[in-house]
Chain A
């Protein structure tokens, strides 16, 4: 009886998981593109540009945890650290580099 109760307590809602992930992705997508434009306007090169990406990514993710998750990310994500900081890292890096190089070439 206890085992089945525990089992049912651990069921997660796929609808909520999908909804939360889509909101996080929306924030990361928009900010990484605009921060990439900023890096291009500042004409940053090599390590400085990637440094700006890492700083902006961590800043936005932390702000998401504090503001949107209200310091309780485990309530909204299955694996908070992985879901918030690592799942969309490569995707956002690609977006950032694309807008960075585009703006850099346009202004330089």
Chain B
């Protein structure tokens, strides 16, 4: 839901910025041409409505960036499949807190170290596969 609001707001803010940019471009082109005529006031500034439109576009864009963040959710690998959340947008840096969610969802953050393929007993695995295949052949016969 938040991401949809964020997308709508960012689209709106970009449209506002493009529109105010075009208005600003037209204004400065007109100012350049008018400056050629003598006797006209030279220190005219950008109209307030264009300035307000730019500020509004910038604020809306900032809001949309912040709304695009959602609270972190995790899918547990064990037990129920309900999403877990800690009501946080970021992850805590203390190791004992950072690994809390891994324990809750049943994830092993050091899996790449603890499950090393080179430590697998390859002879036992081959024996298991040979036994499995021999049983299959017997079943076929």
Contacts and interface: CB of A to CB of B under 8 A. Distances in A.
B122 interface: no
Q: Give the interface size bracket for A toward B.
A: 35 or more
Contacts, number: 101
Nearest to B21: A41
A87 interface: no
A38 B58 contact: yes
Nearest to A26: B65
A78 to B, nearest CB: 7
Interface of B: 17, 20-21, 24-25, 28, 46, 50-51, 54-55, 57-58, 61-62, 65-66, 69, 88-99, 109
Interface of A: 8-9, 11-13, 15-17, 19-20, 23, 27, 30-31, 34-35, 37-38, 41-43, 56, 59-60, 63-64, 67-70, 75-78, 103, 106-108
15 contacts: A13-B92, A13-B98, A15-B91, A15-B109, A16-B92, A20-B90, A34-B17, A38-B54, A43-B46, A59-B62, A76-B93, A78-B93, A107-B21, A107-B25, A107-B28
